[in-house]
Amino acid sequence: MLKRADWYDLARDTNWTPRYVTTEELFPPQMSDTFGLAPAAWESYDEPYKTTYREYVSVQREKDAGAYSVKAALSRMKFCEQADPGWLSTLKAHYGAIAAQEYAAGMAEARMARFGKAPGMRNMATFGMLDELRHGQIQLYFPHEFVAQDRQFEWAHRAMHTNEWAAIAARHLFADLMNGRDAISIAIMLTFAFESGFTNMQFLGLAADAAEAGDFSFSNLISSIQTDEARHAQIGAPALKILLENGFQAEAQKRVDIAFWRSWRLFSVLTGPIMDYYTPLARRESSFKEFMEEWIVGQFDRSIRDLGLDRPWYWDIFLEELNETHHGMHLGVWYWRPTVWWNPAAGASTPDRDWLEQKYPGWNDTWGRCWDVITENLRNGREDLTFPETLPVICNMSNLPILGAPGSKWGCRNYPLEYKGRRYNFGSEPDRWIFQQEPERYAGHMTLVDRFVAGLVQPPTLAGALAYMGLAPEECGQDAHGYRWASADEPSLKKAI
Ligand SMILES: [Fe+2]
Ligand SMILES: [Fe+2]
């Protein structure tokens, strides 16, 4: 048995010169490298994290053993009976939006493992592919014990295979970043722009909230996942380095900018409401904005500067959105609550609102004014007035509602575009800009509301839309706390504390 140092560099560096096919056939550009760099240019690729298969398997085995033994030791059924309903909604939203996409991420890693021209990239991506298989399997397995107890947990398992709106939004994003690109673009967009920052939000930020909420199985599970992400997220930076050395700064920057913005928008609807509204007030570790500033703004800013890239051109727009977008997404999800597979927690009791005002000065005068009307209606026994009667305008890029600050700050507008006789609507300047970079990639897609208007959803009613999304009445979201937060004495809050 040789020592690792005696064979590792040779093994991680080995490339082949094809004799029976051309390089072009071995590495078709659409799958491999749309930049068209020669294989020799990729030979300097140096992945910062080096491991062997033997080491990898042994470490992963330990991680699985740790996560599974914590799960086995804790009675989850009991936990679920006692947990705050807002936290259960967090679990349902997380598992439905994430588990199957982890499996899809495995296919993206497989593309880099097969079509990356740098041997080191293929090596790292092989481990990345195994990581993502683990993430898919473990996040389907852990919540599976709740399937018999709660139809929404059952629904979460099939969410990604439905036409539910949040599932469409998640698929549209991830298909663009991971499954509809060449290996090098995947390395930039998935591993560098998405995994090195945003997965920290979902897997470390949420793990902190989970531990606070007493959900140690979940906290342990997602921290274990993040240790893998932190490793395979390092595939992208050395690829970017090579692109910059070969004069592809503008194209590389564009891919980073597209992926970063698109990821932000999905996190504003998935993670924002969870952190600032669903997690019981007494258990909130930090606000969503504070987590974003720590994990995304600071960290991402440092890594792009280290590489010699620029901040995305829309940086100021992004910083401004940190104060606003997820509040609007939350309001929209709560309002259209029958259309999601979890029970949104309003998080709008008086103490909740004080916290929001403190974390987001001006909240009461903007978003709070919408919640004033909802609260008033509920106090008057008019639940019927708290449900939607119209469709939202949906962004043709994010597939999420187009929104802006209400009340005194009024900032609602859309960003339209005519392309080949069709009108598209976008929720922001960056969303429209992304479409303009490569219109044919996106032009054919129809949002859920486009489908509704085109007559594909029949009958054209809320009931018809729910049937189209595959949601049966018992599975549709309801207010997580049965509106108790709206009453003057707020018993729901006392329970949460
Ligand atoms: Fe993953
Ligand atoms: Fe990953």
**DSSP string over 230-293:** HHHGGGHHHHHHHHHHTT-HHHHHHHHHHHHHHHHHHHHHHHHHIIIIIS-GGG--S-HHHHHI
User: Is 414 in contact with 402 (CB distance < 8 Å)?
Assistant: yes
| Side-chain half-sphere CA neighbours of 330 within 13 A | 29
| Side-chain half-sphere CA neighbours of 263 within 13 A | 25
Distance 229 CA to ligand 2 centre (A): 5
The sign one gets for the Cα dihedral 249, 255, 258, 259 is: negative
Distance 197 CA to ligand 2 centre (A): 11
User: Is 268 in contact with 321 (CB distance < 8 Å)?
Assistant: yes
- Ligand that comes closest to the CA of residue 186: 2
**pLDDT at residue 12, rounded to an integer:** 87
Tell me the two tokens of residue 286.
């930090």
Distance 20 CA to ligand 1 centre (A): 36
Sequence-distant (≥ 6) Cβ neighbours of residue 248 within 8 angstroms: 35
Q: Nearest to residue 405, comparing CAs of 363, 359, 371?
A: 363
Give the global pTM.
0.94
Task: Please state, in angstroms and rounded to a whole number, the distance separating the CA atoms of residues 31 and 171.
Answer: 20
Sequence-distant (≥ 6) Cβ neighbours of residue 412 within 8 angstroms: 402, 403, 404, 405, 406
Distance 167 CA to ligand 2 centre (A): 19
**pLDDT at residue 492, rounded to an integer:** 46
Distance 487 CA to ligand 2 centre (A): 43
Distance 465 CA to ligand 1 centre (A): 31
Distance 182 CA to ligand 1 centre (A): 19
**pLDDT at residue 171, rounded to an integer:** 97
**pLDDT at residue 149, rounded to an integer:** 86
Distance 130 CA to ligand 2 centre (A): 10
**pLDDT at residue 390, rounded to an integer:** 82
- Ligand that comes closest to the CA of residue 128: 2
Around Cβ 345, how many Cβ atoms within 10 Å?
Answer: 28
Residue type, 178: M
Distance 131 CA to ligand 1 centre (A): 6
Distance 227 CA to ligand 2 centre (A): 10
Distance 192 CA to ligand 1 centre (A): 13
Distance 22 CA to ligand 2 centre (A): 32
**pLDDT at residue 214, rounded to an integer:** 83
**pLDDT at residue 496, rounded to an integer:** 39
Distance 136 CA to ligand 2 centre (A): 10
- Ligand that comes closest to the CA of residue 103: 1
Sequence-distant (≥ 6) Cβ neighbours of residue 91 within 8 angstroms: 143, 153, 215, 218
Q: Nearest to residue 112, comparing CAs of 129, 125, 103, 101?
A: 125
Distance 124 CA to ligand 1 centre (A): 14
Distance 13 CA to ligand 2 centre (A): 23
Distance 102 CA to ligand 1 centre (A): 5
Distance 191 CA to ligand 2 centre (A): 7
For tokens 């100021």, name the residue. 316
User: Is 253 in contact with 237 (CB distance < 8 Å)?
Assistant: no
Distance 191 CA to ligand 1 centre (A): 10
- Over the chain (497 residues), what is each successive 10-residue block's mean pLDDT? 88 88 94 90 90 94 90 74 87 94 97 95 96 96 90 95 96 96 97 88 80 85 90 95 96 97 95 93 89 89 92 96 97 96 96 96 95 96 92 94 90 94 97 98 96 93 92 95 85 41
H-run or E-run covering 119: helix 119-141
User: Is 324 in contact with 411 (CB distance < 8 Å)?
Assistant: yes
Distance 105 CA to ligand 2 centre (A): 6
**pLDDT at residue 76, rounded to an integer:** 63
Distance 222 CA to ligand 1 centre (A): 10
Distance 212 CA to ligand 2 centre (A): 25
Distance 229 CA to ligand 1 centre (A): 6
**pLDDT at residue 215, rounded to an integer:** 86
Around Cβ 154, how many Cβ atoms within 10 Å?
Answer: 17
Q: Nearest to residue 170, comparing CAs of 100, 264, 92, 266?
A: 266
Q: Nearest to residue 174, comparing CAs of 98, 236, 240, 233?
A: 98
Distance 87 CA to ligand 1 centre (A): 22
- Ligand that comes closest to the CA of residue 203: 1
- Ligand that comes closest to the CA of residue 136: 1
- Ligand that comes closest to the CA of residue 194: 2
